[in-house]
Structure 1
Amino acid sequence: MNSATHPLTLHDDRLFPAEPTQRAIARRLYAHVAKLPIISPHGHTDPAWFAGNQPFANATQLLLVPDHYVFRMLYSQGISLDALGIARVDGSRNDVDPRQAWRVFAHHFHLFRGTPSSMWLNHVFHDVFGLRVRLDAGTADQYYDHITAALQRPEYLPRSLFERFNIELIATTESPLDPLQHHAAIRASGWGGRVITAYRPDPVIDPEHEQFTAALQAFGEITGEDVHHWDGYLRAHRQRRAFFAQAGATSTDHGHPTAATADLSRADAARLFGKVVSGTFSAQEAECFRAQMLTEMAAMSMDDGLVMQIHPGCFRNHNRTLFERYGRDKGADIPLRTEYVNALKPLLDRFGNAPDFKLILFTLDESSYSRELAPLAGHYPALHLGPAWWFHDAPEGMWRFREWTLSSAGFYNTVGFNDDTRAFLSIPARHDVARRVDCAFLAKLVTEHRLDEDEAAELAVDLAYNLPKRAYKL
């Protein structure tokens, strides 16, 4: 069958309940939030896009190469990253025609049926580029030519898309070593788009990070502090945090393997740091140092007001061969069983009751939602729950998150939605999915007479817009 006979459509009622009464309520609730501005307080888009405002090169470089949600699925079916033109850790890449890489993607697009990636990509194809036939092997070149040509037009420049998507704010994520020159260029340009940064200190906090030794040296050079001694190391963090805050940062982010925190004495912390910088530490000591640094970061947040995020419970870069060849963030992150109640207690004993300290918790271990995270957030003033993340950033995961946290944490101890993406064009699609799922969930509560519809409408707006602004101090 000719591929042109398979139309690409987006149903107006997608993700709404099948039951007619609930569906009608969900439609009415969605009307309150469909066109709200997007608040994207945590993500990984490249600030250089908005600083330089240059055209994206082609369909492959924009939609395939940066998106590990996409190429991890292709890799799982035996397609090498070299065949897609993914850069290796040394900066080299296979000499692949981007059109040919796109053909490989199109030929295997059926692999994404029913997945969140399919929803996001079809939203991009339909709403952003106006395509009306499905992507497959027969339409690969049509797609590639149409998208690549569109990207050369002014209305597809990064800033134009930012405005078209009705993005009020987007936060990127940078290492303490980043000079933030792109953020400075954005501010100096006079453009009205709000692009801020977030402080992600993992390379200079995790002794087991492959860049730690070199990163620590650079950390000292940038700050002028003696970062091989405990007090100088802490001063360097304070200095860089202040620099990030001046560039608009309102948050920090920490991607530790676990949620462990510690509260060592100054002398014990200094001794542990001495072992870390000398390279004579054990795996247990590395974990203890990361745990201590979460508490140190919380103490600094008490002083400078930056909201603290923890993204634990992830075995990052699980595929050693892929990591050694291509580096980090190539789709090989795997969820881990994660404990929070005991792990967070040292930090919470110090700061959990502080009204001015905000800690946003994420997890890849869904079993912890109702058992640990929701009861903690439903008690401690400092704690809020981040939305369903990574593998759970899907309609099913979003629904489970609401079901399993509502009774203990309610809605107002959560922070709305953040897209956590490198794929810029998927941002409106991701926020639309979250808004639809929340409206469907709220519609169910209305039909069960647990909420009045006016309360649900107010909640829908809060979840989509007000809660992320409040949680991230925007």
Structure 2
Amino acid sequence: MPDTLELDDDRLLPVDPQTRAVARHLYATIADHPILSPHGHVDPRLLLDDAPFSDPAELFITRDHYVTRLLHASGIDLAALGAGTAAPVDPRAVWRLFAENWHVFAGTASGYWLSHEFATLFGIDVEPSAETADAIFDTIATRLTDAAYRPRALFEQFGIEVLATTDDPLDDLAAHAALARDESWSGRVLPTFRPDAYLDPAAPGFAERVERLTSTQGASADDFTGYLAALEARRAYFVARGAVSADHGVVEPYTVDLPDDEAARLYRQAVAGDLDAAGAREFRGNMLLRMAGMSARDGLVMTVHPGVHRNHSTTTFDRFGADTGHDIPLTTTYTENLRPLLEKHGLTPGLHIVLFAVDETVYSREVAPLAGFYPSLFIGAPWWFLDAPDAVRRFRSAVTETAGFYRGSGFIDDTRAFLSIPARHDMARRLDAGFLARLVREGRIPLTRAERIAVDLVDAIPRKAFKL
């Protein structure tokens, strides 16, 4: 007999019966609140086109690096999963490989989210396995032909109020504009300005990108003033089309304040391809600081996502390209790296900077103390490898005693996997209910205060941090 797939009503809530009762009550107050998703990677064309999802493998496996990386670690070639730039593979064959290896996801965040999606969206009540693979595939595939499983219908069903995408600075944002014009569509989908490839001289194609960028202002590629003006103009373009944030995915959050002439010299060398590694670091650090200055002027929330060694496996990158599961966390330090930026802009009224990390040790050591002083700083929710049940619990314990609840960002799903959004937010709500319940039971906060905080964590707090 196949193992049953059954969601416990009390999943992730505290084991102690009395604490669990309080957590149940708190969770019930927020379970059905609208989802605010101010940072993510869903393609806006998914909602614009509103086309049926193609097949279960494409939907749940092939493009989800959380899933493919663990299957790869279990000895399955990414080519057999159709990952990245690999040639297309029979979706049913991919699904069978996944189902046969379902046991490797036990205890993982991916396993938890997938179980939630299978049970709540598709009514699946048995676990994937070699025995059940085809039947589950057929159940999902049949449901995907139903209009209720089209992207817009699911957006409504999920209760998403705001969904932010991540976009290239030179994107014309046509998909966002079309969605905004569509009178049959009430969803709020916001673009996000993501300038990394235009700020890092080491990024492939940097010179070509900045040439296209500066040409929008009629400036030459080596004109630093024109380069800055072009960045500001593109930011203004995004703001006019609903953007609320600018996202910065950097290896290290290093900042340095350089005079204009020195920054211009480094820029010209970068465009010419003559900048060494030390100079590139200085240029990146200065541009991250300048991005904070632009946010102080135009109001875009600045989110910083540091500390990831991208494409760790050269062989895998050469075969399958980026975003195929081999990005690995690095140690992150904020206190010294961010000080030049904070010396210049940290006390600027209205500036919002959200600090994320994949290095969980930095939350209690640096992020919470910094956000507990600087009004411009907010604590980003656990991100990527840390967006998992036990890591979220550790995060709450790590930051709350120093900075409280109201210096945070609210939960951030940060995902391309559209169907996992409600599973991820529900997970966070259950964990926060459990954390608050413990504080109530320990006599640290009254129940009425916990009720208000629970609602604020999914509503007022993300609205404030992201100026929603």
TM-score bracket, shorter-length normalisation: over 0.9
> Which residue is 1:73 aligned to?
70
1:95 to partner: Cα distance = 3.8
Q: String of CA shifts for 1:218-241, please: whole Å, max 9, x gaps.
A: 323455443421101101111111
Alignment of 1:47-446 (within 5 A): 47-88=44-85, 93-190=86-183, 191-446=185-440
1:159 to partner: Cα distance = 0.3
| Conserved? CA contact 2:252–2:307, under 8 Å | yes
**Which of 424, 441, 451 is the aligned partner of 1:447?**
441
Amino acid at match of 2:390: E
Q: String of CA shifts for 1:223-276, please: whole Å, max 9, x gaps.
A: 544342110110111111111112211000000100101110111111111111
Amino acid at match of 1:119: Y
Q: Distance in 2 between matches of 1:296 and 1:246?
A: 21
Q: Distance in 1 between matches of 2:219 and 2:153?
A: 41
| Conserved? CA contact 2:221–2:271, under 8 Å | no
State how many pairs are aligned. 467
Q: Distance in 2 between matches of 1:308 and 1:301?
A: 6
Q: String of CA shifts for 1:87-115, please: whole Å, max 9, x gaps.
A: 31xxxx32411111111111111110010
Q: Distance in 2 between matches of 1:193 and 1:32?
A: 24
Q: CA RMSD in A?
A: 1.1
Sequence identity percentage? 48
Secondary structure at the aligned position of 2:131 is classed as: helix
Q: Distance in 2 between matches of 1:107 and 1:212?
A: 43
Q: Distance in 1 between matches of 2:11 and 2:261?
A: 58
Q: Distance in 2 between matches of 1:164 and 1:416?
A: 21
Q: Flag structure 2 segments of 5+ consecutive residues without an equivalent.
A: none
Secondary structure at the aligned position of 2:83 is classed as: coil
2:463 corresponds to 1:469: yes
Q: Distance in 1 between matches of 2:88 and 2:451?
A: 52
Q: Distance in 1 between matches of 2:138 and 2:264?
A: 59
Q: Flag structure 1 segments of 5+ consecutive residues without an equivalent.
A: none
| Conserved? CA contact 1:238–1:300, under 8 Å | yes
Secondary structure at the aligned position of 1:150 is classed as: helix
Amino acid at match of 2:459: Y
| Conserved? CA contact 1:225–1:235, under 8 Å | no
**Which of 40, 44, 68 is the aligned partner of 2:41?**
44
Amino acid at match of 1:355: P
Q: Distance in 2 between matches of 1:173 and 1:411?
A: 26
Q: Distance in 1 between matches of 2:371 and 2:333?
A: 14
Q: Distance in 2 between matches of 1:26 and 1:34?
A: 12
1:326 to partner: Cα distance = 1.9
| Conserved? CA contact 1:249–1:306, under 8 Å | yes
Q: Distance in 1 between matches of 2:111 and 2:467?
A: 33
> Normalized against structure 1, the TM-score is what?
0.97
Could you list the structure 1 runs, at least 4 aligned residues long, displaced by more than 6 angstroms after superposition.
none
| Conserved? CA contact 1:177–1:215, under 8 Å | no
Secondary structure at the aligned position of 1:39 is classed as: strand
